[in-house]
Amino acid sequence: MPSDPPTSPELDAYRAEADRFIAELDEEFYLHYAGLKDRLELEPIYERHDELTGLERARWLGAAVDGDRGVRELWHFACEGYLGKLTREHAERQAAVEAELEVTVDGETIPFRMLRPTMANEPDRGRRERLDRVMWEATEEHLNPIYLESLEVVRSALPALGVSDYVELHERFGFRLRELAGQCRAFLDSTEQLYEQSLDRAMRELLGLGLAEAQRWDLQRMIRSPQWDVGFPADKMVPALKATLADLGIDLERQENVHLDIEQRPQKSPRAFCSAIEIPDKVMLVIQPIGGADDWRAFFHEAGHAEHYGNTSPDLAMEDKRLGDTAVTEGWAMLLQHLTDEPSWLSRRLDFPRPNEYASEGMMWLLFFVRRYAAKLLYELEFFTGDPAAMPQRYVELLGEATKIEPSPANYVADIDAGFYVYSYLRSWAFEAQLRDHLRERYGTDWFTSREAGSLLRDLWAQGQRPTADELLREVSGSEIEMEAVAERVRESLT
């Protein structure tokens, strides 16, 4: 690798190869998690692009950043690619274990990946507890050793990238982690009483348990929201999405670049996902419809990703299509997901009974997840800079205090997403809440029926991830991203 800074042609060549590398990875993940391929095979992809994710490439790009955001995104990609290369064996082992592992509960053999859905669908509290216990025992025995090995590999590699820890690395990428952590602490304080009262009331109504008595296996059942199943049938999910997009002036049937994969397969992930293999030319929206409120939320969330990627301008640079601020695409995903909590949307699409009551419950769950992720950010900042031996207990303390339901200490490493993705999720919730307010002010409370709103969304989607979420929100509404906007939205519904 030359010691001189990269020239424009060299950067263009790097972009082109990086584009192919990401496309191949995304296709591999799609094939495996869609149940079309038994094993996740990352090694051959990394071997084909071995030099792309080498340490020298990362250092070469890092020395060339000098305030250029596009080059910084390439450097970010190179660093994450280097770390991913070092841990690809762990990712393959983890996926293989999850796909092949089976457990036995009450004489029934259950695939590991189906434990959460099984728990959520189980009305018997005692059996839910047994499912929970087996799930975390299997995680501790089979998966945590892999996670811990992977994290140690990452820790050991950081000095070669010129940083002392994972937090410093991401701050150099432009992540304002500590600033957001301050907003998260304020958010947790300002919503504490409202959260406790709302969740306690909902648990008493559905499970006959107060919040003080509830356990994590009860929470799985609560999130499943079985009392609303009749309103969210599996066979109406796709038609509802098509009709919603049609109201915005988008014909999903004619979007040849957005592909719906709705076939049932035994090894298919039970959770909807989107795989943007070629942006914008080949975007896969994958769902194995189960039905129920949580399934609909996940499907519409992933549809938001699919429309964002599917409408991204093909003329953008690779880093503006595939890299950039992931809070942008998560914000678009949240925007469509939260339509399923809009009373007027529910009445329009499903002739839904008691839509206001359901919408209030949806806001309660929004509050739950934002509080949980706020605590996750605080936990991850400690995890990557603190004493590893203390982390299982700190995980229980921080997330238990935020959610008021004690998590399993066995989840203390499995719950960490690579690349501080928690940072993107938190900012996307604020971005979506503030953008929704703008859409309602400009197009009315039923903005999702407006073709003018649809035109605005397509114009914004076309920008891909070239602007950050902060810049995009400032462009549209003149506002700055603020976590308290989520609290204000929730208070409108719950107080």
* Predicted local distance difference test score (pLDDT) of residue 269: 84
Is-contact 81 52, C-beta < 8 A?
A: yes
* Predicted local distance difference test score (pLDDT) of residue 352: 83
Residue type, 439: L
Residue 59 has which token pair?
């250092």
* Predicted local distance difference test score (pLDDT) of residue 426: 97
Residue 213 has which token pair?
């008595």
What does pLDDT average to in each consecutive run of 10 residues of the chain (495 residues)? 75 94 95 91 89 91 86 94 91 90 94 90 92 95 95 94 94 95 97 95 89 91 81 90 96 94 85 94 90 87 97 96 95 96 91 88 93 98 91 97 96 92 95 95 96 97 96 93 94 85
* Predicted local distance difference test score (pLDDT) of residue 3: 59
Q: How many residues does the chain have?
A: 495
Model confidence, pTM:
0.89
CB crowding 210-233: b at 16 or more within 10 Å, else e: ebeebebbbbbbbbbbbebbebbe
Instruction: State how far the Cα of 458 lies from the Cα of 465, in Å rounded to an integer.
Output: 13
Judged by DSSP in three states, 316 sits in coil
Q: Pick the closest to residue 260 from 246, 272, 243 (CA basis).
A: 272
Q: What burial class does residue 399 get, using C-beta atoms within 10 Å of its C-beta: 0-12 exposed, 13-18 middle, 19+ buried?
A: buried
* Predicted local distance difference test score (pLDDT) of residue 121: 84
Triad 422, 375, 81: Cα angle to 5°: 25
* Predicted local distance difference test score (pLDDT) of residue 37: 92
DSSP state letters, 374-431: HHHHHHHHHHTTS-GGGHHHHHHHHHHHHHSSPPPGGGTTTTPPGGGHHHHHHHHHHH
